Amino acid sequence: MTVLKKSMIERVENKLGAIPEDVKISKSYMVVTFIALLVGGILGLVQGLNRAGLLEIPNGFNYYQILTAHGILLILIFTAFFTIGYFYAGLSHTLGGLSPKVRKMAWIAFGLKIIGFIIALIPILQNEASVLYTFYPPMAASPIFYIGLVLIVLGIWVSAFGVFISVAKWRKQHKGQNIPILAFFATGVFVLLFFSSIFVAVEVFMIIPWAIGWVETINVMLSRTLFWAFGHTLVNIWYITAISAWYVIIPKIIGGKRFSDTLTRVVVILLVILNIPGGFHHQIVDPGISEPIKYMHVFMSLAIGFPSLMTAFAMFAVFERTGRKKGGRGLFGWFTKLPWKDVRFFAPFVAMVAFIAGGAGGIVQTMHQLNQVIHNTLWVVGHFHLTLGMTVALTFFGISYWLIPYLSGRKLTAKVNTLGILQTILWTVGMSLMSIAMHLVGLIGSPRRTSFSNYGEHEVALSWDPYLIILAIGGTLLIIAVIIQVYAVFHMMFLSPRGEEGFPIAEEEEHATPTPYWTERWGTWVFLLLITVAMGYVIPLVEFIVNAPPGSPPFKTW
Ligand code: HEM
Ligand SMILES: [Cu+2]
């Protein structure tokens, strides 16, 4: 073993802090994450105020342009940069440092995504790409926009292979051992990210020649389907990232032990295998897909509810066990023993609670008849601000309060912790007001993705007003919370007093049964993933291609 490697292992085992070269990578990813949150949040407020009739979109911009930027900044940049920064830090910590090659890949991925984003941003700023983050044909943006997207996808692939190489190397050096649990989560996330982004890459390569004008028409159904094979999976990538912290980190923060390691790995495996063929639940009212196929996708999307219920059970089991060990008595005494004043616990706890409501709303949406009621209304926007904006975002915020100090070699001060608690409360109140208002106004017909209109003072449209005002109030609280969050992150990164904060990874229970080695059969899991993808997509894709309707020329609707 080389001296270098030995020093790395000592560093990790003795918790001597993070490896400087690896820290730079994750720190850079985090800086971009939180700038995206700030800018995306401001744009969200502009939309919210506009919908409520309180703000004209500033001259030279239009609503759909701003909505496109809001979607891309928060869906693509905020989440992806966080996921990569977080897991690369986790891999560095649990696998004993990244190799020089993987570091280089992480930087190449970073560069590709930033350059891709800037290239995509130019036509958005010119109002040549106001196609929203879903960029559905037959709406067509400037080809430059799609070229930017290609670079972003390439960046994602490079970062995925960086993970695979790191994990493969560790396994070679540790034959017969289970990979550390956080690396296991990372493998699942990047397997899904890699396979799902193949779909969107194919879509974009269909669109580019059409947007340039080399081919006249495009198969609209095919492109929508390819998009959602990716988009639906992306949602669960955020979800697995969030629960990795629930399973692995939070037990440590509350002073407890991890729930069954085997069960944790089974949850990851199930989510990886079952996930991709659920995309049609985003296309429930699309024509041209036979009912049995839609039914199968709905079944598959409900099937991933099962590992989610396992997660809910596991979390509360850990909370109760820990609370009781700390002396909590009676039916609920353990509950009061949890560290409510620690933002690293409080923020993700609220995130979990939000998922109960978010998940229930999601089940509504997968039902054909109920979907008709809320389809393309603000209900849907309310749903994903609860799931993504609360469950995922608050978990990420909670992570930031230990990850950033770990990376910057600084302390989480009591002041910043208090700020974090305040942030979580403001965010929760703001997001609840906004998303409840969105759900309700959606039920009475207010459309999503539509700039302010009262439809000639129509009485139905006028009845939306009170809800839209609440939406705007929620949005205003949210922007304050965004600013506090971004301030806290930059404080922890550059200003807080120096000190060592560990990477909080919980241990297993003392007498836990050893995890069986079959959980490591990634070849099998990927094979099963491919089988379920084939089951979900081969028939409809072949039908869309063989029985293709006349394609569509490009349209510029804005
Ligand atoms: C300051 C906080 C935020 C405010 C005020 C806000 C406001 C809004 C509003 C009003 C819309 C609906 C526009 C419409 O359909 O006409 C919207 C859409 C959206 N928001 Fe937010 N949002 C905020 C934060 C977030 C966060 C944190 C995320 C994700 C992490 C997010 C993701 C999205 C997405 C994906 C859309 C859909 C875009 C589309 O339909 O193309 N938002 N937001
Ligand atoms: Cu979905």
In the prediction, which pLDDT does 6 show? Answer: 52
Pocket test for ligand 1, best of 73, 130, 381, 558 (most atoms within 8 A of CB): 381
Q: Whose CA is nearest to atom 18 of ligand 1?
A: 381
- CB-based contact 464:376 (threshold 8 Å): no
What amino acid is encoded at 260 in this protein? S
Residue 441 CA to residue 348 CA, distance in Å, equals 28
203 burial class (0-12, 13-18, 19+ CB within 10 angstroms)? buried
Task: Write down the mean pLDDT value for the chain.
Answer: 94
In the prediction, which pLDDT does 363 show? Answer: 86
**288 pLDDT higher than 90:** no
Residue 259 CA to residue 505 CA, distance in Å, equals 12
In the prediction, which pLDDT does 5 show? Answer: 54
pLDDT confidence bin for 364, thresholds 50/70/90: confident
**The ligand 1 atom nearest the CA atom of 63:** 16
- Range 305-317 average pLDDT: 91
Q: Which ligand sits nearest to residue 231's alpha carbon?
A: 2
pLDDT confidence bin for 16, thresholds 50/70/90: low
**11 pLDDT higher than 60:** no
Residue 461 CA to residue 444 CA, distance in Å, equals 9
Q: Which ligand sits nearest to residue 442's alpha carbon?
A: 1
Which is more confidently placed, 18 or 84?
A: 84
Residue 263 CA to residue 514 CA, distance in Å, equals 11
**Pick from 25, 193, 230, 205: which is nearest to 108 by CA?**
25
- Range 212-221 average pLDDT: 97
Phi, psi (rounded to 5 degrees) for 141: -95, 175
**314 pLDDT higher than 60:** yes
Three-point CA angle 265, 268, 270, nearest 5°:
110
pLDDT confidence bin for 3, thresholds 50/70/90: very low
Q: Which ligand sits nearest to residue 278's alpha carbon?
A: 2
- Range 244-273 average pLDDT: 96
Distance 67 CA to ligand 1 centre (A): 8
- Range 176-191 average pLDDT: 97
**The ligand 1 atom nearest the CA atom of 482:** 1
Distance 130 CA to ligand 2 centre (A): 23
Q: Whose CA is nearest to atom 21 of ligand 1?
A: 44
Over residues 129-151, the pLDDT tens digits come to: 999 999 999 999 999 999 999 99
- Range 208-233 average pLDDT: 96
Over residues 20-56, the pLDDT tens digits come to: 999 999 999 999 999 999 999 999 999 999 999 999 9
Distance 233 CA to ligand 2 centre (A): 7
In the prediction, which pLDDT does 145 show? Answer: 98
**The ligand 1 atom nearest the CA atom of 133:** 41
Q: Determine which helix (DSSP H) or strand (DSSP E) holds 66, and give its type and residue range.
A: helix 63-71
Q: Which ligand sits nearest to residue 484's alpha carbon?
A: 1
pTM of the model: 0.95
**417 pLDDT higher than 50:** yes
Residue 269 CA to residue 284 CA, distance in Å, equals 27
Residues above pLDDT 70, as percent of the chain: 97
Q: Which ligand sits nearest to residue 362's alpha carbon?
A: 2
Distance 500 CA to ligand 1 centre (A): 36
- CB-based contact 406:412 (threshold 8 Å): no
**14 pLDDT higher than 50:** no
**The ligand 1 atom nearest the CA atom of 481:** 1
Question: Which range scores top for mean pLDDT: 57-66, 162-171, 303-312?
Answer: 162-171
Q: Whose CA is nearest to atom 14 of ligand 1?
A: 449
pLDDT confidence bin for 17, thresholds 50/70/90: low
In the prediction, which pLDDT does 1 show? Answer: 42
**404 pLDDT higher than 90:** yes
**The ligand 1 atom nearest the CA atom of 474:** 5
Residue 424 CA to residue 348 CA, distance in Å, equals 9
In the prediction, which pLDDT does 380 show? Answer: 96
Residue 294 CA to residue 35 CA, distance in Å, equals 39
**The ligand 1 atom nearest the CA atom of 378:** 15
Phi, psi (rounded to 5 degrees) for 555: -125, 145
Pocket test for ligand 1, best of 47, 241, 469 (most atoms within 8 A of CB): 47
- Ligand 1: list residues with CB < 6 Å: 41, 44-45, 47-48, 51, 67, 70-71, 74-75, 78, 132-133, 381, 384-385, 388-389, 393, 448-450, 475, 478-479, 482
Q: Whose CA is nearest to atom 17 of ligand 1?
A: 44
**435 pLDDT higher than 60:** yes
Q: Would residue 339 be called left, alpha or beta, if left means φ above 0 and alpha means ψ between -120 and 50 degrees?
A: beta
What amino acid is encoded at 61 in this protein? F
**253 pLDDT higher than 90:** yes
Over residues 443-490, the pLDDT tens digits come to: 999 999 999 998 999 999 999 999 999 999 999 999 999 999 999 999
**10 pLDDT higher than 70:** no
